[in-house]
Amino acid sequence: MLDLTQCSASQSEAITHGTGPMLVLAGPGSGKTFVITRRIQYLIEYHHVPPEQILVITFTKAAATQMQERFLKLTSESFMPVTFGTFHAFFYQILKQTYHFNASSILKESDKRKMMKNILHHIPEDLKNEPCMLLNSIDKNGEVNQDMMQRLISEISKVKNLGLAASDYESTVCTSALFAFIYEQYSHIAVHNNKLDFDDMVILCLELLKAKPSVLHLWQKRYSYILIDEFQDISPSQYEVIRLLADTHHNLFIVGDDDQSIYGFRGSRPQLMLDFARYYPECRQVILDINYRSKSDIVKHAANLISHNQNRFIKNVCANEKEPGIFKIHPCTSREEEMQNIILLIQQYMKREQAHYSDLALIYRTNTNACMAADRLLHENIPFHMQEKPVNIYQSPTARDIMAYIRYALYEEDVASFYRIMNRPSRYIQRERVPVQSFSMQELIKNNHDREYVIHNILHLYDQLHFLKKLDPYAAINYIRHGIGYEDYCLKQSLSIQELEELQERAAAFDTLKEWLYHAEHYDELIQESSTGKEEDAVQLVTMHASKGLEWNTVILPDINEGITPHKKAISQEEIEEERRMFYVAMTRAKENLFLFYIKEKTGGNFLPSRFLTDLQKHAASD
């Protein structure tokens, strides 16, 4: 039987809501799964709703499985045919029943990448005239930067979720004309192969329910109660499908937190949640305002941060735990010092009794920043697990150039490396005058005997290479950038200077060029060997996006600097507010200890402390 004795007043109000729409604002750690599972139990036991008429939708398969397991445990494992699933799983069932789709109809992520690679290899010449980030990421062999490819796939998804025309969308990675071409080709190939992606399923479902009232009526009749978890992540097209399904009964129970809406890149936005009462004026609203996860100081500072957003529901979230916990902000003079302090913090934590590496998480704004930490943890023999596959920076064009310089400085017989560096920057060395097999400097000079200025460039290059191999990795990359002039070459070619800075920062942990080169050449293998399984005892490295729904005893947030958090691409107020929500999500993953690190102005190069730290420090000063 349903037991409400352990519920707060607001939890009890949400659980025992009768018919009609309800909006439940559930802050971090407020027990939303607790509420949803007991709400289902209440409907069955007290309202005598047939279990098969209840639909519970979540955003991930893991969340749906966890919700179902919690419900089964609550009902003593008794079989009740409540439907638990993701949006995509539910939409697939509708399409399967009407159009007889099967699993082979769905595009896999690997299929998307193959399609995209093929499209990018066949870009018309007239679309290559205007330089952009996407074109710059394609190397001489036609290989595409994987991170850039994923960003492009995400933008295609966003266009579909928002219901936009590709020609009206302003891409962040390429020109509008090039994006429209890629989108059109992507759609054409998918249709030609009788395939559809998850976003197509939503669009098809919406079209089906609008075009065939009999099909819509069938599904409306089947599910008289719909409960949606993490409603703040819903896209406009998903919401439109749900509104159609709930149109008969209006028994729509939505649970979410507008302050945790962080998936704008795929079309979700908090405004849909903020406007819920406009669509359903009869809806009741409940706020779950007690955080059962975090210590009081963490809750207080997180609440202070998010209060600076304008477009939100006002809430007064408080901690159930009265102990303050630890909340600290650490300034550092450089990225290297920041990482040293984080390593020291981890080592000190592990001296505690019954301490586990898995108690700790490093949460980064992007996977690229997380990869830098993985380098250092690997070097310090600290076990770690990365939630997402790391981006291998050493596969980028600039990294390959740097590696070629160092490889040729160490091993002059490597002809392929010489070919790569000989005109980066330009030295006017013609490839046909370079021997095809291992050669000496004298042979190269002999082949250019009639070109005095080229001989001068060759002599100067070999002097630079001989000096280069005496340096440590950090100094060597700095010398390649500024002494040899590779950075100026990158600027002229519109290549990433940020990658050069990151390569140099990572190299600081290594003593010799051979050690660094081995690490760079075998990076994927080393990460795979050193990154443990999810269930093993290891420090967790996650992005802010991937941290959502998770929690740890101790959370470390590095790189709280402008350009990183908030991201440099966030310009409008709407984008900045989403970045602040992302930071809020990361902060509220901590149960007992929360450490924020940033690099101080001037001493840290071009870094400025994040404006979000200013938000926090304003409140700290007034406390």
User: pLDDT, tens digit, for every residue of 5-36?
Assistant: 889 999 999 999 999 999 999 999 999 999 99
pLDDT at 549 over 70: yes
- Domain assignment of residue 485, given as a range: 393-524
Average pLDDT score, the chain: 90
605 confidence band (pLDDT: 50, 70, 90): low
pLDDT at 535 over 70: no
The average pLDDT across 288-303 equals 96
Domain membership flag for residue 41: yes
* Same domain? 229 vs 166: no
* Residue-level pLDDT at 352: 94
534 confidence band (pLDDT: 50, 70, 90): low
The average pLDDT across 52-58 equals 96
141 confidence band (pLDDT: 50, 70, 90): low
Domain membership flag for residue 339: yes
> Distance between CA 598 and CA 369 in Å, rounded?
13
140 confidence band (pLDDT: 50, 70, 90): low
pLDDT at 195 over 60: yes
**Predicted structure pTM score:** 0.82
Domain boundary among 240, 271, 288: 288
> Distance between CA 91 and CA 208 in Å, rounded?
11
The pLDDT tens digits of the residues spanning 332-386 come to: 998 889 999 999 999 999 999 999 999 999 999 988 778 878 888 988 889 999 8
Q: What is the DSSP string of 154-207?
A: HHHHHHHHHT--GGG---SSS-HHHHHHHHHHHHHHHHHTT-B-HHHHHHHHHH
Domain membership flag for residue 445: yes
Domain boundary among 499, 524, 549: 524
The CATH number that applies at residue 375 is 3.40.50.300
532 confidence band (pLDDT: 50, 70, 90): low
* Same domain? 329 vs 263: no
pLDDT at 622 over 60: no
Most confident of the ranges 258-267, 320-329, 517-526, 597-606? 320-329
Domain membership flag for residue 138: yes
Instruction: Tell me the three state secondary structure of residue 537.
Output: coil
**Long-range contacts of 31-35, Cβ-Cβ distance < 8 Å, separation of 24 or more:** 31/288, 31/290, 31/292, 32/229, 32/255, 32/288, 33/66, 33/67, 33/70, 33/229, 35/11, 35/255, 35/288
* Same domain? 27 vs 78: yes
The average pLDDT across 482-504 equals 89
The average pLDDT across 256-285 equals 91
The CATH number that applies at residue 116 is 1.10.10
Report the percent of the chain where pLDDT is more than 90.
66
* Same domain? 159 vs 114: yes
> Distance between CA 56 and CA 37 in Å, rounded?
10
* Residue-level pLDDT at 542: 93
Domain membership flag for residue 3: no
- The DSSP code for 71 is H
pLDDT at 1 over 90: no
Least confident range from 233-247, 296-310, 496-510, 555-569: namely 496-510
Residue 86, both tokens = 């993701």
Question: How many domains does one find in the chain?
Answer: 4
Kindly provide the b/e burial profile for residues 273-286, where b requires at least 16 CB atoms within 10 angstroms of the residue's own CB.
bbebeeebeebeeb
* Residue-level pLDDT at 368: 76
* Same domain? 468 vs 602: no
The average pLDDT across 172-176 equals 88
* Same domain? 29 vs 163: no
* Same domain? 72 vs 210: yes
* Same domain? 440 vs 505: yes
> Distance between CA 176 and CA 166 in Å, rounded?
8
* Same domain? 234 vs 213: yes
* Same domain? 37 vs 173: no
pLDDT at 604 over 60: no
* Same domain? 595 vs 479: no
Residue type, 311: N
* Same domain? 403 vs 433: yes
The average pLDDT across 104-115 equals 88
Domain membership flag for residue 53: yes
The average pLDDT across 138-150 equals 74
Domain membership flag for residue 298: no
Domain boundary among 524, 555, 589: 524
* Residue-level pLDDT at 55: 97
Bigger pLDDT: 102 vs 313: 313
